[in-house]
Amino acid sequence: MPYGLIISKLLDNNDLNILKIYPLQLNFQKDYLLDLYKSFLHNRNSNFQTQYFHEQGFCINSIFTNGNFKYFFTLILDIEEDPEEYEPILCLVAIDYILMQNNQNDNLNFILNDSNIESVFKFIKNFPKLKIEVKYSLILLSNIFQTTLNIFREKGVLTRDQIEKELNTNIPSIKNCIDVNLIIKVLIYFQILREEILEGMKIPTYFLIKDLVPCRIPAIKIYEESSLRNVPTEFEGILKNSIKDFFTNYKIDENDNISILKNIILNKEVYECFKVLRIACIKKEELEELQYKGVYNIDECLNVLLNHKMIISHKDNKKNEYFSLISDFQIIEFFPEYLYNKYIEQYKNKTINEFILMRAIEILKEELVKWIYKENF
Amino acid sequence: MIENKYTQIEIEYIEKNLNKLYNLVKKNKELDKISLLNDRITCIKNILIEFWKKIGINY
């Protein structure tokens, strides 16, 4: 379990300014931290380092952000913990923090906005236990991650410097501000990018191996098995027609997706409600049992879901109020088959090195076999 | 969260095209007559079609 979080800034005179520390009683003197960080910087071959203190039973997982803003984000963990599990969220917090220091707006801001260090720490602490769709939501909301993904969707393969150059062109305001290594680290964690050092090259090359698309899909289980899923008989027809009507006219809408990610998937209380409604049609009083999961304001949660047209309600003769899902929301992982076309285009335009291209094709082939349909899928 | 999957036949088709592209690039040949695979929008559309089918409508 993580014990604490420290955010500090390396000053020009190599002194350290501790900006945030949680919990306050965490006993780390500035000089001690400075020594740790100096040793990190002296030995470093990446932005990430874990230092183990076996006798004391803890380890320190630090990330260093390069560029104009030199920060350390340090998590103190139990020695039994896997520090790599926390690196992606530490990277996201770092990106968010630096953007805020630069008055930049990115949808990631919700992690730190209006939050104190305690809630940031709690978010980090819970990160490994979050469902993958919640973790994905963090990057799908971020303008920086979306831009990086779009760059990869066009090129398929890039080096670190190329990513940086493309990002600076697309979002000039982040130039020298965000360390690209943090973005890469997160995308590798999600197995969206694959890193390889190609023969004869000193620097790593990154290949897109998976794509994501967030979108609404019909509430299929409720539609197909309405009687098994608690849908009152008199409500069945209305429900099925509502699902059909909604999806006859539906087109993927980026703003709608962002609103669902932000207000439903990343809102702990609404998400708990949503998860239950994915399984069955539920009476309002049954939803009130979710209090044990920290859902205290059912009315507000239901309003969010109704306003987003995720659910509809129905009152029976006995004035029982039922709520049922009409629209589910999924983040679909898929194989980037389209890169084949992009590679042909780049080869024809001579904008890709042939050696890199051949390896990129091999990697697509290697990844393809992982997407085979299984009988029980 | 859903993972899109391919059938064995689809995998073989994509693999065949990737092999062809690899060999042409290796021999430094022109790619004038090479066929294309699905673009991103079509990949997504093909995934969604399956869900829409289950409620009896076309995507």
Confidence of residue A59 (pLDDT cuts 50, 70, 90): confident
State the pLDDT at residue A64: 84
pLDDT in tens, A134-152: 999 999 999 999 999 999 9
Fold of A140-210+335-369: Arc Repressor Mutant, subunit A (1.10.10)
pLDDT in tens, A278-332: 999 999 999 999 999 999 999 999 999 999 999 999 998 889 999 999 999 999 9
State the pLDDT at residue A256: 97
Number of domains in chain B: 1
User: Does the CB of A350 have a partner CB in chain B at under 8 Å?
Assistant: no
A213-332: CATH architecture? Orthogonal Bundle (1.10)
- For the CA atoms of chain A, what is the radius of gyration? 24
State the pLDDT at residue A150: 98
Residue A228, exposed/middle/buried by CB under 10 A (0-12, 13-18, 19+)? exposed
State the smallest CA–CA distance between residue A330 and chain B in angstroms.
5
Taking 80 as the threshold, does the pLDDT of residue A112 lie above it?
no
Q: Is residue B2 part of a domain?
A: no
Taking 50 as the threshold, does the pLDDT of residue A37 lie above it?
yes
Enumerate residues 196 to 255 of chain A having a beta carbon within 8 A of any beta carbon in chain B: 211, 213, 215, 217-218, 220, 223-224, 240, 243-244, 247-248, 252
Confidence of residue A100 (pLDDT cuts 50, 70, 90): confident
* Chain B residues lying within 8 Å of A347, measured CB to CB: 25, 31
Q: Is residue B1 part of a domain?
A: no
State the smallest CA–CA distance between residue A358 and chain B in angstroms.
6
ipTM exceeds 0.95, yes or no: yes
Q: Is residue B16 part of a domain?
A: yes
Greatest extent of chain B over all pairs of C-alpha atoms, in Å: 49
Domain boundaries, chain A: 2-128, 140-210+335-369, 213-332
State the pLDDT at residue A377: 41
Its CATH class, for the domain covering A2-128, is alpha beta
Tell me the backbone φ, ψ of residue A2, rounded to 5 degrees.
-70, 140
Q: Which of B18, B32, B54 to mutate to test the interface with A (most CBs of A within 10 A)?
A: B18
Q: Is residue B12 part of a domain?
A: yes
State the pLDDT at residue A114: 52
- Residue ranges with strand state E in A177-269: 193-196, 205-208, 211-218
State the pLDDT at residue A188: 97
State the pLDDT at residue A376: 44
State the pLDDT at residue A54: 82
Nearest CB partner across the interface for B7, out of A153, A224, A373: A373
More reliable by pLDDT, A112 or A130: A130
Q: Is residue B20 part of a domain?
A: yes
Could you tell me the two tokens for B53? 């089918």
Q: Is residue B3 part of a domain?
A: no
More reliable by pLDDT, A174 or A186: A186
The answer to whether B55 contacts A218, with C-beta atoms less than 8 Å apart, is yes
The answer to whether A358 contacts B25, with C-beta atoms less than 8 Å apart, is yes
- Cα(A203)–Cα(A181) distance, rounded to whole angstroms? 12
User: Does the CB of A136 have a partner CB in chain B at under 8 Å?
Assistant: yes
The pLDDT mean for chain A works out to 90
State the smallest CA–CA distance between residue B29 and chain A in angstroms.
10
The answer to whether A337 contacts B44, with C-beta atoms less than 8 Å apart, is no
Q: Is residue B35 part of a domain?
A: yes
pLDDT in tens, A181-239: 999 999 999 999 999 999 888 899 999 999 999 999 999 999 999 999 999 999 999 99
**Short-list A208, A192, A181, CA closest to A87:** A181
The answer to whether A338 contacts B38, with C-beta atoms less than 8 Å apart, is yes
State the smallest CA–CA distance between residue B30 and chain A in angstroms.
8
The answer to whether A215 contacts B7, with C-beta atoms less than 8 Å apart, is no
State the smallest CA–CA distance between residue A140 and chain B in angstroms.
14
**Short-list A229, A230, A208, A250, CA closest to A334:** A208
pLDDT in tens, A329-358: 999 999 999 999 999 999 999 999 999 999
State the smallest CA–CA distance between residue A86 and chain B in angstroms.
21
Nearest CB partner across the interface for A218, out of B4, B40, B54: B54
- Fold match between A2-128 and A140-210+335-369? no
User: Does the CB of A372 have a partner CB in chain B at under 8 Å?
Assistant: yes
User: Does the CB of A321 have a partner CB in chain B at under 8 Å?
Assistant: no
Cα-based angle A48, A53, A58 (whole degrees, multiple of 5): 80
Taking 80 as the threshold, does the pLDDT of residue A109 lie above it?
no
Q: Is residue B59 part of a domain?
A: no
Q: A226-233: list long-range contacts, CB under 8 Å, 24+ apart.
A: A226/A281, A229/A279, A229/A280, A229/A281, A230/A280, A230/A281, A230/A282, A230/A322, A231/A281, A231/A322, A231/A324, A232/A281, A232/A314, A232/A316, A232/A322
